């Protein structure tokens, strides 16, 4: 042990240390004196820091000491530090100068006994069960006839040989082995990597994806099987999509992976039997089903044949049916002539009975009535028709007179002429004509002459006298002008 007692100075007084000198002197003294310590106690105030370090307190019924596990040492711990876990730790005692506290820097940690491990396991089981990882509803069914079986186990030992031998005897399929260590600190991580690797495979890849997985290990102590109680491994099994059978240890051994897996097998050999059917049994079953099908088909055919024969006995023969129809036809055809004669006689009697009531008077009487009615109507209609014709004749005469009075050619026969321009419009006044304008003059004999207007308009020249020797034209009587209204 290093002596840290102060030495006297030149004046004979004790030397004065600074606080830092004293703190670091004590730190070196403790580290030199307690550089390797095994300490047993119960964990409390466990804190997993975000930087990876773990801070905790180890206590018993009378004292407590702070402890720290640096990030680089956390992965090498035998157990996961948890509140209330009794452990044995190995490390060195040091101080924390800023707080004048001493603590142990832990390099390794292991459970203090079987009871502590089981208590830790029970707490983890309760946690995972509360999250629903043990729920039977989430467990996936195993395939009936797998084509590829994936086995995660140690490549050496009796376990893999037993599984391969059992599968070969039962079912011809492909077996893919993912070698892992099944005991120790690296076991849980390697099994997790194998499960994730199998689930990441694709059906059309170079290595086919297994239809079912088997995680197997032989028997051992609780410490030997402790890797299969890892929380990360349990969650990896729960997240997988390929059905998984756990076969860790013997029938009495139970690990956390057994509760999370889809099926638990008591032994690796039993896991191989769960994963694969028996080909011989399937062949026997198919053969038995085929025989039963043939027997059932034969019974159905026999039953249908019996029903047809029974129905045939109940049916009449075809010649009997034809003879009966022929007999009915003969009877009906024999009665046909007499029936027609009887029908004609009945209609003849009806005709005679009706003809006795018929006579020409029945037709002549309506004709006489219609003729008398027509005579009466003709006597009444003749004066009315005559009066109507007279009115129409008078109206026709009036219209004829009206037509003659409005005839535009009638004045031409009295010596007048009709003057029209070149465009066909009539001239109503001489002043409207211009000198040199061409006109057409129509006379009473329907002759039209062309003329050109000469000179300016003026007074009308006196009429030219007619010689006495000239005979006047005979006067043509014109009919009286009719009334326009």
> pLDDT tens digits, residue range 388-418?
888 999 899 888 888 877 777 777 777 788 8
Answer whether 433's CB lies under 8 Å from 439's CB.
yes
Judge whether 132 lies within some domain.
Answer: no
From 13-22, 80-89, 146-155, 384-393, the region with the lowest mean pLDDT: 13-22
Sign of the torsion angle spanned by Cα atoms 43, 46, 48, 52: negative
Of 277, 299, 318, the residue at which a domain comes to its end is: 277
pLDDT in tens, 293-302: 999 988 999 8
β-sheet bridge partners, residue 244: 213
**Tell me, what's the pLDDT at 456?**
57
| pLDDT confidence tier of residue 457, bands split at 50, 70 and 90 | low
User: Does residue 472 have a pLDDT over 90?
Assistant: no
User: Does residue 358 have a pLDDT over 80?
Assistant: no
Average pLDDT over residues 149-177: 92
**Tell me, what's the pLDDT at 280?**
86
- Gap between the Cα atoms of 134 and 261, Å rounded: 8
The conformation of residue 62, written as its DSSP 8-state character, comes to S
**Are 257 and 158 found together in one domain?**
yes
Judge whether 468 lies within some domain.
Answer: no
**Tell me, what's the pLDDT at 192?**
95
**Are 112 and 153 found together in one domain?**
no
- Gap between the Cα atoms of 78 and 87, Å rounded: 10
Answer whether 127's CB lies under 8 Å from 143's CB.
no
Judge whether 226 lies within some domain.
Answer: yes
> C-alpha angle 101/104/108, rounded to 5°?
165
Judge whether 457 lies within some domain.
Answer: no
Q: CA-based diameter of the chain, in Å?
A: 206
pLDDT in tens, 191-247: 999 999 999 999 888 899 999 999 999 888 777 788 898 899 999 999 999 999 999
Average pLDDT, the chain: 83
**Tell me, what's the pLDDT at 476?**
44
**Tell me, what's the pLDDT at 420?**
85
| pLDDT confidence tier of residue 45, bands split at 50, 70 and 90 | confident
Rounded percentage of the chain residues whose pLDDT exceeds 90: 28
**Are 98 and 208 found together in one domain?**
no
**Are 152 and 94 found together in one domain?**
no
**Tell me, what's the pLDDT at 13?**
65
CA distances from 127 to 84, 124, 132, 277 (A): 15, 5, 9, 36
- Identify the domain containing residue 224 by its residue range: 147-277
Residues 6+ apart with CB under 8 A from 349: none
Average pLDDT over residues 38-43: 88
**Are 163 and 110 found together in one domain?**
no
Judge whether 306 lies within some domain.
Answer: no
From 261-270, 307-316, 464-473, the region with the lowest mean pLDDT: 464-473
Average pLDDT over residues 35-63: 87
Of 277, 311, 335, the residue at which a domain comes to its end is: 277
**Tell me, what's the pLDDT at 318?**
65
**Tell me, what's the pLDDT at 159?**
92
User: Does residue 309 have a pLDDT over 70?
Assistant: yes
User: Does residue 167 have a pLDDT over 90?
Assistant: yes
> Which residue, among 52, 59, 61, 72, has the nearest Cα to 104 in the 3D structure?
59
Judge whether 329 lies within some domain.
Answer: no
How many domains does the structure of the chain reveal?
Answer: 3
User: Does residue 160 have a pLDDT over 60?
Assistant: yes
pLDDT in tens, 122-150: 888 888 989 999 999 999 999 999 999 99
Judge whether 333 lies within some domain.
Answer: no
**Tell me, what's the pLDDT at 117?**
66
User: Does residue 459 have a pLDDT over 60?
Assistant: no
pTM of the predicted protein model: 0.46
User: Does residue 116 have a pLDDT over 80?
Assistant: no
Answer whether 132's CB lies under 8 Å from 252's CB.
no
Answer whether 415's CB lies under 8 Å from 473's CB.
no
**Are 101 and 34 found together in one domain?**
yes
């Amino acid at each position: 042990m290093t002596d840290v007692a102060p030495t006297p100075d030149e004046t004979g007084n004790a030397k004065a240390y600074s606080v830092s000198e004293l703190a670091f002197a004590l730190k070196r003294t403790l580290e030199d004196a307690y550089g390797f310590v095994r300490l047993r106690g119960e964990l409390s105030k466990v804190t997993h820091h975000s930087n990876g370090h773990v801070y905790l307190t180890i206590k018993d019924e009378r004292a407590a000491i702070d402890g720290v596990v640096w990030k680089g040492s956390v992965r090498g711990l035998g157990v996961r530090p948890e509140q209330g876990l009794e452990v044995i730790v190995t490390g060195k005692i040091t101080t924390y100068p800023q707080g004048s506290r001493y603590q142990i820097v832990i390099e390794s940690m292991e459970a203090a006994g079987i009871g502590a491990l089981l208590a830790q396991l029970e707490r983890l089981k309760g946690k995972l069960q509360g999250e629903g990882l043990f729920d039977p509803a989430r467990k996936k069914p195993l395939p009936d006839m797998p084509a590829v079986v994936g086995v995660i186990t140690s490549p050496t030992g009796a376990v893999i040989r037993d599984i391969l031998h059992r599968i070969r005897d039962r079912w011809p399929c492909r077996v893919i082995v993912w070698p892992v260590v099944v005991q120790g600190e690296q076991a849980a991580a390697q099994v997790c990597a194998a499960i994730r690797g199998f689930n990441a495979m694709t059906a059309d890849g170079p290595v086919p994806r297994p239809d079912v997985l088997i995680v197997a290990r032989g028997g051992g102590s609780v410490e030997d099987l402790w890797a299969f109680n890892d929380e990360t491994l349990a969650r990896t099994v729960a997240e997988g999509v390929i059905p998984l059978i756990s076969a860790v240890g013997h029938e009495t051994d139970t690990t956390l992976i057994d509760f999370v897996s889809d099926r638990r097998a008591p032994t690796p050999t039993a896991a191989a039997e769960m994963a694969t059917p028996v080909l011989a049994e399937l062949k026997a079953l198919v053969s038995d089903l085929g025989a039963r099908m043939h027997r059932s088909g034969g019974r159905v055919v026999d039953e249908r044949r019996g029903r047809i024969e029974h129905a045939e006995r109940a049916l009449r023969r075809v010649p009997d049916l034809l003879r009966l129809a022929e007999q009915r036809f003969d009877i009906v055809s024999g009665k046909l002539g007499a029936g027609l004669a009887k029908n004609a006689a009945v209609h003849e009697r009806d005709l005679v009975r009706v003809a006795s009531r018929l006579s020409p008077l029945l037709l002549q009487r309506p004709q006489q009535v219609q003729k008398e009615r027509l005579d009466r109507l003709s006597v009444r209609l003749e004066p009315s028709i005559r009066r109507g014709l007279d009115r129409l004749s008078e109206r026709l005469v009036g219209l004829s007179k009206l037509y003659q009075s409005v005839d535009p050619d009638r004045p031409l026969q009295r010596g007048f002429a009709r003057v029209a321009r070149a465009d066909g419009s009539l001239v109503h006044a001489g002043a409207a004509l211009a000198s040199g304008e061409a006109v057409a003059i129509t006379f009473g004999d329907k002759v039209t002459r062309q003329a050109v207007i000469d000179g300016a308009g003026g007074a009308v020249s006196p009429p030219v006298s007619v010689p006495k020797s000239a005979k006047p034209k005979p006067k043509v009587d014109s009919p009286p002008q009719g009334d326009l209204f």
